[in-house]
């Protein structure tokens, strides 16, 4: 259960970060309203807060988070940008998630 809770928290964190970066991208690249910067800032604040909810030390959380972020970013690529990831994209995600699991859940010396 700890694994699923950590994964769900990492996914929520990644979504908050991606939304917080995507909204300014829409403003800068597609000429959308600058008002998008307000929810973007809120989303990035939520992203930072979500990172604090993990029981692991901050550096380990940040390192492990990167693997999950890559997977969520590719899902975003597919779902929002409409670009289907390739088999090698998904292989890369698998490698990253394996690394994430080793970092986050690996045994610790006393």
Q: Please report the DSSP string for 43-96 in residue order.
A: HHHHHHHHHTTSSS-HHHHHHHHHHHHHHHHHHHHHHTS--PPPHHHHHHHHHH
Q: Quick one: average pLDDT of 52-72?
A: 88
pLDDT class of 110 with cuts at 50, 70, 90:
low
CA gap 104, 35 in Å, rounded: 37
- Global pTM value: 0.86
Domain boundaries, given as residue ranges, for the chain = 2-105
pLDDT in tens, 2-33: 778 888 999 999 999 999 999 999 999 999 99
Q: Quick one: average pLDDT of 43-70?
A: 90
Q: Quick one: average pLDDT of 28-53?
A: 96
């Amino acid at each position: 259960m700890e694994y699923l809770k950590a994964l769900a928290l990492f996914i929520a964190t990644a979504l908050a970060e991606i939304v917080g970066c995507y909204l300014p991208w829409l403003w800068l690249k597609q000429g959308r309203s600058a008002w998008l910067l307000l929810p973007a800032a809120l989303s990035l604040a939520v992203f930072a807060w979500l990172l604090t909810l993990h029981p692991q030390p901050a550096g380990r959380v940040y390192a492990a988070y990167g693997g999950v972020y890559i997977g969520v970013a590719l899902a975003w690529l597919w779902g929002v940008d409409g670009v289907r990831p390739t088999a090698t994209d998904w292989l890369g995600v698998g490698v990253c998630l394996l690394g994430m699991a080793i970092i986050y859940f690996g045994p610790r010396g006393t």
